[in-house]
Amino acid sequence: MYYDQRIETMDRSDLDALIDERVRYTIRYACEHSPFYRHWFKKNRIKCEDIRTHEDLLHLPLIAGRTIREHQPPLTPDFEFLSSGWGDVFTIQETSGTSGTPKSFFLTWDDWKRYAEKYARSFVSQGFSAGDRIVVCASYGMNVGANTMTIAAHRLGMTIIPFGRCDFASRVITSYRPTAIVGSVFKLLRLACRITAEGTRPKDTSIERLVAGGESFADESRAYLTEQWGCPVYNTYGSTEGTMCGECTEFSGLHVPEDLVHLDVYDPQQKTFVQDGECGRAVLTTLLPEGSRCGTLLINYDTEDTTVVLSRERCACGRTHLRIINPQREAETFWVFNNSMNRVDVEAGVFQHDNMQYLTGEYEAFLYDGESHGDVVMRVSVECHDPDHCDKRLVVDRFTERFLKYKPGLARHAEDHTFSIVFNYTRPGGLELQKLSGRPKRIVDRRSG
């Protein structure tokens, strides 16, 4: 049931004491080994010895992705976040660079072992064990996810089939009989569609569970994926920065490995940390066990992903580490009449159950200025199996009902026609995003303001 039962089921008081112990060592390590943090502490008049508990982190400034970019070449001569000697650096990793110059991260072997432990805990919490065979549809390049999962699988006695992409031949499933696939929701949906077209129902294959990660998703798209494959779909949230949170078999939020990474939630509008149950950005701090080394240390790192702490109580699975909701990228959140809407809100409307008899699930949305000054139009394009035989009225009704249900502010603007939703229906392959390379942007703001 557990990868490390002592740590994963530790009483809250003992867990908090362990966290505080690691906070003290981490801060001391930063003072001694990180050029950035030595300057940062001095600039902000912070004495390392004054930071004793995780509550003390709430009084420190935040850093963000731009902070890392501003302290690495070409803007600085050296990598100022490098917090170990080059002799201890095992690998150099980079983020995808979708929002600017890729951020550089340096991992020691200690880092890799900690990263792998986080994934190993998630795998075990999702029912994996020795003998499982997993197809990994995640990049084996400069991102850490796929390699971390591979190390974790080795620890658990599992077999990895490292394709890295989800366009592998269906013979892989029939020949190797994998028990699981790791990939994004849409990769797994496309794979299901392809297998079905070749004459095999996904639910009739050897697959016993799916692990979805790489991007946030709606509950509705997960439910449809579950229906297509006939097996549970577990959620993971990981990053090069070292999050690696995983959902257990109770489906009651993602467990944060609190002994290895500390998470607080920050409201950038109020410029304050918020209480459990309130929404804000996930702010991470690396936690190092006494005596370990770290290649890139992060303290109060603003992920710019929004989340909510659901609970710090013991989960029904027995784990005591806090649970959060599936984080959403703030870069995919847009404001209309002072109301926020995320890509996931659009996705939830698309994946309404009745819609999916006509739709493939592929979609994109665009925000435009309306004909009258101040009006806003959202155009939603959906991919249909056959646009000529699609109940378009039903799709519009189901989408609009779901989308506006949780957006009462936008619903009021829809009533007075200052906010309108229009639909476009395409055949497979007809969406704009399918003609572009890289990670697709499912929602694009094309308003003039």
What are 340-381's pLDDT values in tens digits? 999 999 999 999 999 999 999 999 999 999 999 999 999 999
Helix axes 408-415, 392-405, angle to 10 degrees: 130
Provide the mean pLDDT of the chain. 95
Of 310, 289, 304, 300, which is closest to residue 342 (Cα–Cα)?
304
What tokens does 231 get? 């097996």
Q: According to DSSP H, which parts of 293-373 are helical?
A: 343-350
Read off the DSSP letter of residue 62: P
pLDDT reported for residue 303: 94
Q: Domains, the chain, ranges and CATH?
A: 1-326 (3.40.50.12780), 332-445 (3.30.300.30)
**Does the pLDDT of residue 100 top 80, yes or no?**
no
Cα separation values, 303 from 20, 238, 276, 331, Å: 22, 11, 18, 11
pLDDT digits (tens, 9 = 90+) for 162-215: 998 888 999 999 999 999 999 999 999 999 999 999 999 999 999 999 999 878
Of 421, 250, 287, 417, which is closest to residue 345 (Cα–Cα)?
421
At 416, is the secondary structure helix, strand, or coil? coil
Of 260, 332, 245, 246, which is closest to residue 298 (Cα–Cα)?
260
At 244, is the secondary structure helix, strand, or coil? coil
Contacting residues for 394 by C-beta, under 8 A, at least 6 apart: 354, 355, 358
Count of beta carbons in the 10 Å neighbourhood of residue 60: 17
pLDDT reported for residue 98: 59
Quick one: how far is CA 131 from the chain centroid? 27
Of 284, 247, 278, which is closest to residue 264 (Cα–Cα)?
284
